[in-house]
Structure 1
Amino acid sequence: MICRACELPLAACLCAWVRPVDNRVELIVLQHPQEQHQAKGTVRLLQRCLSRCRVLVGEGFDEALLAPLLGAGTALLYPMDATALAGATAGPVQRLILLDATWRKSRKMLQLNPRLQTLPRLALTELPPSGYAIRRAQRPEQRSSLEAAALALQQLEAQVLPGLDRYRPLWEAFEGFVADRQKFG
């Protein structure tokens, strides 16, 4: 049996962990096709929780599809050669692009979509330890897509509204999801 809401088998249903969050900055996830059906993937939960989140699946994206998403106010969350956004965009970040893939596949996605390489990049600062205990990271700074998105959105919104803890429900959803998935080994 498949859950109609999250489209996962009932044994893996994540609906119990959905916590709605009204994010100011729109999140666009470019998801590699191999990540789309991963039971341990966090993008499905991220999409169900955030009010402004779109997921596009593919490796190389049509220019006509990407062009409207990559205008002024858009930044790429990607660590390679990342520099802080100070002065890099005309105005505040209104849209954040996140690549959901393994590190090797995300580099290929970046190569296949040259317009992404022209975007200002957001560098995450003050990273807490990862809570993603269901997959092993190769480096200590690596995070699940949900963790990276939540940290980036918090960082961006703190520049506008300091002290805001809008993303606590998203972190609670993540913690419940991880604990639930750990039961399956």
Structure 2
Amino acid sequence: MRSRTPSDLNGFCKTCLFKEEWCLCEQLPTIHTTLHFVIVRHTREVLKTSNTGRIAALALDNCSLIDFGVKDKPYDPTPLLHDDTWLLFPDNEGLSAPLPETPPKRVVLLDATWRQAKRMKRRIKEVHHMPRFGIPTPNIYPERLRQAPNNWSLSTIEAIARTAEFFGEHEAAKQIDGVFALMVDHFTRQRGWPTHKLHNTEELPLRLHTDSRCSYTKCYCQTKP
């Protein structure tokens, strides 16, 4: 699925990268989490409308977004250099090192396809010695924009929601789920997709809420373009 926007952003919101008539910005809440999330985004994700890291960073008030590998844009690893910073990154079987006993101050997420993320993990020296953990695999896999490479991969925004939930920030997790559902709804509407074009609908979704414009559903899982 190609969702890269034109480089001149003609007709697109320059903040959320959705078409102007489907801009998300005014509908995004401000979501607070005690955890500070650091999103390291792969250069190939920068101009993709389907990139969830961008939308997460717009909604979260305790979040840093840094780009990696962008031509003519210096990479700044400063947000990765703080104490008590953990990398959310399962191994090839979805397993991980032991979970932290208490919530870490910062959680780093590599915002890319699974293959790209594995290369980023090797190339970004600041994450080489970080403690690493994974979160339990969700049991529900409803609507999302990209097809997951396996049953334990999560999109960046979903991984943030599940991490917040795991560490007890349940209300924030629900709000993040709602933001992702809003993103899915706007994306499919601006593409004119029927529901069957969405990925991973084997199980019935959980309804979050409904307004006069659209139904939002709880979504899980990560992805390849």
Please say if 1:35 is aligned against 2:35. no
In structure 1, the residue matched to 2:196 is none
Cα-Cα RMSD: 2.5
Number of residue pairs aligned between Structure 1 and Structure 2:
176
1:82, 1:123 within 8 Å by CA — same for their partners in 2?
Answer: yes
CA contact (8 A) 2:161 2:172 kept: no
Query: Pairwise mapping of residues 79-90 of structure 1 onto structure 2 (< 5 A)?
Result: 79-80=90-91, 82-86=96-100
Question: Offset of 1:19 from its aligned partner?
Answer: 2.0
Whether the aligned pair in 1 keeps the contact of 2:39 and 2:108 (CA below 8 Å) is yes
Alignment of 1:101 with 2:95, yes or no, is no
Partner in structure 2 of residue 77 of structure 1: 88
- Counterpart in 2 of 1:181? 187
Task: Give the structure-1-normalised TM-score.
Answer: 0.82
Instruction: Find the aligned partners of 2:16 and 2:43 in 1 and give their Cα distance.
Output: 17
TM-fit CA distance, 1:174 = 1.0
Q: Report the Cα distance in structure 2 between the residues aligned to 1:124 and 1:132, rounded to whole angstroms.
A: 20
Q: Distance in 2 between matches of 1:182 and 1:23?
A: 28
Indicate how the Cα distance of structure 1 residues 131 and 70 shifts in structure 2: closer, same or farther if over 3 A, else same.
Answer: farther
Q: Which has the higher contact order (CA 8 A, sep 6+)?
A: 1
Q: Please list the CA deviations of residues 101-160 of structure 1 after superposition, one character each: whole Å capped at 9, or x if unmatched.
A: 11111111111113312111121025232345221111111111100111112212x2xx
Q: Is the 8 A contact 1:29 1:99 kept in 2?
A: yes
After TM superposition, which residue ranges in structure 1, 4 or more long, deviate above 6 angstroms?
60-63
Provide the TM-score with structure 2 as the length reference. Answer: 0.69
- 1:110 counterpart residue number: 121
- The share of aligned pairs that are identical, in percent, is 22
More helix by share: 1
Structure 1 residue 9 corresponds to structure 2 residue 19: yes
Where does structure 2 lack aligned partners over 5 or more consecutive residues?
Answer: 1-10, 194-225
Distance of aligned partners of 1:82 and 1:146 in 2 relative to their CA distance in 1, 3 Å threshold: same
